[in-house]
């Protein structure tokens, strides 16, 4: 940081400030101190609230008195004033640093063999089932519809649905588990693998190794890079897009194996498969 930067945070914090209490001033001085020590961009709002023994909401309200919507907005403005990412659209910068980079890190570990192996499993199976919980059920619904349109019988099942135990023999199951540690998914897949003949399982997770890896023909560990310290509760919203792109690439590679044939089936099924 150059010498001129030291005063910038103080000017920013006092911009439009009004009705500052003793505690507000204390919080602002602490933020200024952390910035001058080069620590501000390493701290989450929860770190600051813990260090100062105040609530997250108190820090937010203090910054709102200074004209910011919250802590992230404050850090973004400070970053821009200091010359960081001044010419970069904030949304594009975020996508490049997180989502796009996550895709690169995920697919750099995927080889042509993975696509060939996936295509072989799809060709050999009678039915494809997407199994997951929560919002990921809808990802399964999207891709089961895609496979149905090209003549591959497919269905999405919520992992708590008892019908999961009654799937057809010689099926391919694509399991989506963000944490990779969901005990309901683990127990369900264990039962299926032990009791339904000819079942092949592909697992997709954001974990290094899930609790269903031992039952999977192949497990894909997707990478999500988080430079924004996203709250864990927000992660499913981002993983939804990451998993969707991942599955779309595998679907596209399978589709390309017999494109003309599949195009005819898509047109044939267009009116009665949505």
Using one digit for the tens of pLDDT, what is the confidence trace for 193-250? Answer: 999 999 999 999 988 778 888 999 999 988 876 655 555 455 556 788 889 999 999 9
Task: Give the residue from 22, 53, 87 where a domain finishes.
Answer: 87
pTM attached to this predicted model: 0.64
Q: Residue 128 pairs with which residues in a beta bridge?
A: 154, 172
Note whether 49 and 82 are same-domain residues.
yes
* pLDDT score for 13: 56
Note whether 59 and 125 are same-domain residues.
no
Among the listed residues 233, 223, 232, the one whose alpha carbon sits nearest the alpha carbon of residue 100: 223
Note whether 10 and 105 are same-domain residues.
no
| 219 φ/ψ angles, rounded to the nearest 5 degrees | -120, 135
What is the strand order of the sheet 200-205 is part of?
154-158, 127-132, 171-177, 200-205, 218-221
* pLDDT score for 87: 44
* pLDDT score for 53: 94
Note whether 61 and 193 are same-domain residues.
no
Q: How far is CA 245 from the centre of its chain?
A: 11
Q: Residue 219 pairs with which residues in a beta bridge?
A: 203
SS3 193: helix
Low-confidence ranges of the chain (pLDDT < 70): 1-19, 80-94, 97, 225-237, 269-274
* pLDDT score for 35: 83
* pLDDT score for 42: 79
In a domain, 197, yes or no: yes
């Amino acid at each position: 940081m150059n010498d001129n930067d030291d005063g910038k945070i103080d000017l920013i914090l006092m911009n439009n400030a009004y009705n500052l209490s003793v505690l507000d001033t204390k919080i602002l001085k602490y933020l200024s101190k952390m910035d001058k020590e080069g620590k501000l961009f390493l701290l989450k709002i929860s770190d600051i609230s813990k260090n100062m023994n105040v609530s997250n909401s108190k820090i937010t309200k203090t910054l709102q008195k200074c004209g910011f919507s919250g802590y992230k907005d404050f850090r973004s403005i400070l970053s821009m004033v200091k010359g960081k990412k001044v010419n970069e659209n904030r949304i594009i910068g975020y996508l490049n640093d997180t989502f796009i980079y996550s895709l690169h890190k995920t697919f750099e570990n995927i080889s042509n063999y993975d696509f060939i192996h996936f295509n072989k499993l799809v060709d050999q199976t009678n039915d494809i089932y997407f199994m997951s919980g929560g919002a990921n059920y809808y990802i399964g619904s999207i891709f089961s519809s895609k496979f149905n349109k090209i003549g591959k019988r497919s269905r999405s099942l919520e992992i708590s649905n008892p019908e999961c135990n009654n799937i057809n023999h010689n099926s391919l199951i694509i399991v989506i588990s963000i944490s990779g540690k969901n005990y309901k998914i683990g127990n369900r897949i264990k039962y299926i693998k032990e009791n339904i003949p000819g079942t092949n399982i592909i697992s997709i997770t954001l974990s290094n190794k899930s609790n269903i890896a031992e039952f999977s023909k192949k497990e894909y560990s997707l990478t999500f890079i988080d430079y924004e310290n996203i709250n864990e509760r927000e992660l499913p919203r981002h993983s939804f897009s990451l998993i969707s792109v991942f599955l779309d690439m595998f679907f596209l590679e399978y589709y390309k194996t017999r494109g003309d044939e599949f195009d005819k089936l898509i047109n044939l099924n267009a009116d009665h498969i949505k």
